[in-house]
Structure 1
Amino acid sequence: MDSATQWLPVIAALMAAGLLAGLLAGLLGVGGGIVIVPVLFLIFQSLGISPATAMVVATSTSLMVIVPTSIASARAHHRRGNVDLALFRRWLWFLLAGVVLGTQVVSRVDGVLLTGVFGVVVLLIAANTLLRPGAPPLRESLPAAPAQGAVAAAIGALSVMMGIGGGTLSVTALTSWNVPAHRAVGTSALFGLVIALPGALLLLLTASTPADAPPGTVGLVNLPGFAVIAPLTYLMAPLGVRLGGRLSGVALKKVFAVFLTLVGLRMLWQWLAES
């Protein structure tokens, strides 16, 4: 088998990840990292990369991909009136503070730990959604400004550590505070840009590249992976928005939770195997 043929399955997997990530980005308000990180993690390991390096590079590359995806998704949601700009402005600086903290963690901790964080967090979110179907929100309205700021900072930090755009966390938070599902999804898409852009740039320009990083990695971002996935996610995000507009809020939550369960179990199993 020649080298070009050997790369075909890798390229096909990257393209499939890009298509699915873009669809979910528009549908659920996530940046697509919930798909991209596990796929890149497995692909890099198949190339002989250590699990620790595979995870930090997958996380950082996912953030870079989320930048154009979030732009496409947020624009489409804004046209439909689903973005709460006042809420976005209140959360902006807290999100950025969390992003700076998260990038420091990613560049300093063992990547295997990030795998465990990824798996545990998404399973907790999925369990909350699946076990409380139709349950009333935890609050009838948004909490006081200090509480919102603390949550926004935590979302920024955890999102960078997980390589996601924040939709996984912010949709859950906002809907639990009685924000309508479609509005939570649309606003979260804009949060994704604020989280992904500075996070990816910091990891690209300031982080040290591991010795066993996959070819084409600058800092902690793998540029070939970005080049294959990003155009497809950008193209598919508006389609996800249109599809989401036809589904009820309850249906959106169920799709979100089932997918998170599958991904979380896979990543948690990998973490336990490597620990």
Structure 2
Amino acid sequence: MSFDVSMIIEFLPLLLILASIGVLAGFLAGLLGIGGGIVLVPGLYYSLTSLGYDPEHMMHLAVGTSLAVIVPTGFSSARSHWKKGAVGMDLVKRIGIGIVVGVVVGTIIADKLDAESMQMIFAVALMILAAIMVINPSRFDLLKDVPGQPWSGLAGMFIGGLSTLMGIGGATISVPYMSICGVKMHKAVGTASALGMVISIPAAIGFMVIGNGQEGMPPLSIGYVNVLAWFLIIPFSVMVAPLGAKAAHALPVNKLRLAFAVFMVFVSSRMLWSVLGNG
């Protein structure tokens, strides 16, 4: 397939939007230590639908593409934490089995849901995650250790299933969970990065499969994963993340986290409003 000047001009708005989403996701990841999926999914969904792509498939595509983006970025993060000895492989094994089951179940459910149902799940979960960000339950050590089976398996299933349906790496859920269970913060964050790989790889593949053959997709899509977005978002996100990390040392991060939680509530409310037919 040859690209002429007219095709480049036609796709230029999409290219600029994808690059901008990558910049925003990377900066916030470095600044607040949050996963990019919380930004990528609504960013991709609203951008693609505004460009005229079929809303019925764009929520699935946004989730699938976000999961695919997490694979290389999550690998880089996990490797860095591994070198520092901050990945608890015992925890990965204990929670990871349940996560894989949750990913499979989440993918099957996603295949059966329409766009509005996917938006409802994302919006409600985002509202809850905003509350978690404000409350910061990591301050409370309610348990001395992560429970054994079957509780760890059930927790993993919940983390894997919800993360798959939302298009996130799961750290926003798994870090508070492990912290409440008495895991030190640096180990919880490092382990969560490894668990993000356990979530994102099978989930991204699953979304490629369940989206196979769908029509009306943006160019260069494999199922519910857009390769063009993948190639554009990752480098911009990786380049900008260090700037966010640098800014974190100069800005009041606690206030910024509160501001981002308000932003999450806004995105959640907007999505709920549109699904309920009032927007």
TM-score, normalization by structure 2:
0.83
The amino acid across from 2:50 in the alignment is S
Q: Which has the larger radius of gyration?
A: 2
**Structure 1: tracts of 5 or more residues without a match:** none
Q: Does residue 118 of the first structure (1) align with residue 122 of the second (2)?
A: yes
Equivalent residues in 2 for 1:1-275, closer than 5 Å? 4-5=8-9, 7-25=11-29, 30-131=34-135, 136-237=140-241, 254=258, 257-258=261-262, 260-273=264-277
Q: Give the drift of 1:5.
A: 4.4
| Distance across 1 between alignment mates of 2:253 and 2:89 | 20
Higher mean C-alpha deviation, range 260-269 or range 216-225: 260-269
Change (3 A) 1:218 1:21: same
Change (3 A) 1:189 1:244: farther
| Distance across 2 between alignment mates of 1:260 and 1:36 | 12
**Structure 2: tracts of 5 or more residues without a match:** 1-5
Q: Give the drift of 1:250.
A: 6.6
Higher mean C-alpha deviation, range 146-155 or range 27-36: 27-36
Q: Give the drift of 1:252.
A: 9.0
| Distance across 1 between alignment mates of 2:105 and 2:251 | 36
TM-score, normalization by structure 1:
0.84
| Distance across 2 between alignment mates of 1:247 and 1:74 | 26
| Distance across 2 between alignment mates of 1:128 and 1:192 | 19
Deviations 1:56-100 (A, max 9, x none): 111111111111110112222333443222211212221111111
Number of residue pairs matched?
274
Q: Give the drift of 1:254.
A: 4.8
Percent same amino acid at aligned positions?
A: 38
Q: Give the drift of 1:196.
A: 0.7
The amino acid across from 1:191 in the alignment is L
RMSD over aligned Cα atoms: 3.2
| Distance across 2 between alignment mates of 1:258 and 1:184 | 25
| Distance across 1 between alignment mates of 2:255 and 2:87 | 20
